[in-house]
Amino acid sequence: MYSVDFLHQFGQKVHAVYAPFHTEKFVQETMAGDWNELPLKQRFRRLSTTVGENLPARYEEALGILFAIDEECVGFPYLFFPDFVEVYGQAEAHWERSMEALERFTSKSSAEFAVRSFILENPERMLSQMTAWADHPNEHVRRLASEGCRPRLPWGQALPLFKHDPTPLLPILELLKADPSLYVRKSVANNLNDIAKDNPSFVLETARRWKGTHAHTDWIIRHGCRTLIRKANPVALTLFGYAEVEDKTPLVQFSTLSANPSELSIGENCELRYELHIREGDSVRIRIEYGIDFVKSAGRTSRKLFLLSDKTVHGGVRLSGTRIHRWADLTTRRHYPGEHNIVLLVNGQEIAQTVINLKTEGR
């Protein structure tokens, strides 16, 4: 993405509005040293600092130059614009100008990462600003209000204060809980899902209060409670209408799970086949998953769940299906030889199991 051509084109944009900017010098300084080894976020930082070193030392003047070209600098590659604000604009004297810049840049390339340093430096003042943004007419700015304060934003600095106590985030989420923009609603749901990992009772209580107030809000809380549902939190399952055991009558009367082949090598596939019989009576909502206890390098196991179905079915129905599971290594998962336990779950309850023996590739 950050090719020599991209850097030259950007440098020429700057030079067109600020003649002292030397494009070749900027490109060379950006790509110097360990550039080829830098991960993406560190490349953002290299770009923002190199831009700053080649613009006027006075922050407001440098920012004005970026304002002059930002309409031409739209999209993911320009995340270094808000990063420039994070690097150079945190002094008290720059506060108002920096807030203006973050609001402006976020609609072109999200400022969700840059705001987090400001939050950590001055939580109360920054949350007041983000509450104002939550009422902004632009959906990108409203999304920033939620996305920027997510306690566990991927790639972003963690916000331990909100992991410990998410209460200060509630006024922002309340303002956005029925937002007309799906883009914003997804962010609110992801914020709730982040919170649920440390404070499940906070999210469940919020979901109870919000449930039924608006169709958009119902979508948010269902998506925001997805981790709690996946972990079969009993309160979450009840809240969203998943069936429970009734009068000691199991939800599933009969079930089987098999794997074919049951012995295979890393890189190969197996077919999982399942069958289950739901108890007689009223229709019920069920979530069918299979879980694999993956063997790790040290011999321990770690369970990963895979969704098969989430729907309402008639009482007494028999359900069956197959799923091909691939045992090839991924960037996010490495496989190790050994016996892997596989379980079938309905609404978080294990109802059947089988075992496969995974061998080293080619053996």
Q: What would the pLDDT profile of 16-66 be if each residue is shown by its tens digit?
A: 999 999 999 999 999 999 999 999 899 999 999 999 999 999 999 999 999
All domains of the chain in start order, with CATH: 4-239 (1.25.40.290), 252-359 (2.60.40.10)
Across 168-184, average pLDDT: 98
The predicted structure's pLDDT at residue 247:
64
Q: If you average pLDDT over residues 232-239, what whole number do you get?
A: 93
CB 126 within 8 A of CB 115: yes
- Structure tokens of 353? 């199991």
Burial of 211 (0-12, 13-18, 19+ CB in 10 A): middle
- DSSP of 159-176: -HHHHH--GGGHHHHHHH
Q: What is the pTM of this model?
A: 0.87
pLDDT at 362: 60
Mean pLDDT for the chain overall: 95
Q: pLDDT value at position 13? A: 96
CA distance 298 to 336: 10
The mean per-residue pLDDT over the stretch 185-213 comes to: 97
Task: Give the integer Cα–Cα distance in Å for 103 and 141.
Answer: 6
* pLDDT-based confidence at residue 363 (cuts at 50, 70, 90): low
pLDDT digits (tens, 9 = 90+) for 123-150: 999 999 999 999 999 999 999 999 999 9
How high is the pLDDT of residue 275?
97
Rounded CA-CA distance 186/188 in Å is 6
**pLDDT value at residue 218:** 97
**How many residues does the structure list for the chain?**
363
| 3-class SS letters over 201-221 | HHHHHHHHHHCCCCHHHHHHH
C-alpha dist (Å) from residue 170 to 15, 106, 190: 44, 22, 14
pLDDT for res 299 = 85
Reported as a single tens digit per residue, the pLDDT across 237-271 is: 999 999 886 767 899 999 999 999 999 999 999 99
- 286/276 Cα distance (integer angstroms): 12
Helix (H, G, I), strand (E, B) or coil at 312: strand
Q: What pLDDT score was predicted for residue 240?
A: 95
**With bands split at pLDDT 50, 70 and 90, how would you rate the model's confidence at 298?**
confident
- The pLDDT tens digits for 300-331 are 999 999 999 999 999 999 999 999 999 999 98
The number of helix segments (H) and strand segments (E) in the chain equals 16, 8
Element containing residue 59 per DSSP (H, E): helix 59-69
Q: In 283-309, which positions are buried (b, 16+ CB within 10 angstroms) versus exposed (e)?
A: ebebbbbbbbbbbeeeeeeeeebeebe
- Average pLDDT in the 164-180 region? 98
Q: Phi, psi (5° rounding) for residue 277?
A: -120, 115
Average pLDDT over residues 84-91: 96
Per-residue pLDDT reduced to its tens digit, 218-232: 999 999 999 999 998
- Residue 306's pLDDT is 95
